């Protein structure tokens, strides 16, 4: 029910540094509720590494996952700034404006910006 989806965190990203991220849409099979989540980590050399980790986790909870695209996140925890930019070669560019809105839920006191810059 509602609780399982609520248990999935909106955002899981590294606390510091610049790394790849993906925007993932979770959906109950057969439609109904859906929501978008942000996942990013330095551990991932490629965007699909992130998806390959998140997809089985979400399938266990009964969700279908679709990657809506990717990019990069620059997370500066000292200055409380996050910058979203770039794109994923494999998945295409995520809608960074959507990503920013999701990040704002978690990082309420941060300055969060985005651009289509590659670097």
Distance of alpha carbon 110 from alpha carbon 61, whole angstroms: 30
Q: Give the pair of three-digit tokens for residue 79.
A: 């200055």
For residue 68, give the 3-state DSSP assignment. strand
pLDDT of 2: 57
One of 3.50.20.20, 3.40.190.10, 3.40.50.10540, 3.20.20.60 is the CATH number of 11-115, namely 3.50.20.20
Active-site hit among 47, 49, 75, 96: 47
Q: Please, are residues 10 and 102 in contact by the beta-carbon 8 Å criterion?
A: yes
Distance of alpha carbon 82 from alpha carbon 112, whole angstroms: 5
Per-residue pLDDT band for 3 (boundaries 50, 70, 90) equals low
Per-residue pLDDT band for 17 (boundaries 50, 70, 90) equals very high
Position 68 pLDDT exceeds 70: yes
| pTM flag (> 0.85) | yes
Position 1 pLDDT exceeds 70: no
Position 61 pLDDT exceeds 80: yes
- Check whether 20 is labelled as a binding-site residue: yes
Whether residue 49 lies in the annotated active site: no
Domain ranges of the chain: 11-115
């Amino acid at each position: 029910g509602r609780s399982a989806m609520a248990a999935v965190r909106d955002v899981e990203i590294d606390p510091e540094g610049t790394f790849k991220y993906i925007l993932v849409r979770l959906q109950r099979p057969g439609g109904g509720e859906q929501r978008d989540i942000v996942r990013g980590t330095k551990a991932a050399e490629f965007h699909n590494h992130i998806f390959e980790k998140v997809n089985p986790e979400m399938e266990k909870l009964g969700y279908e996952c679709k990657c809506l695209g990717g990019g990069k996140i620059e997370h500066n925890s000292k200055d409380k700034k996050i910058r979203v930019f770039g794109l994923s070669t494999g998945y295409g560019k995520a809608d960074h404006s959507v990503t920013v809105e999701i990040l704002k839920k978690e990082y309420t006191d941060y300055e969060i910006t985005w651009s289509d810059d590659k670097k």
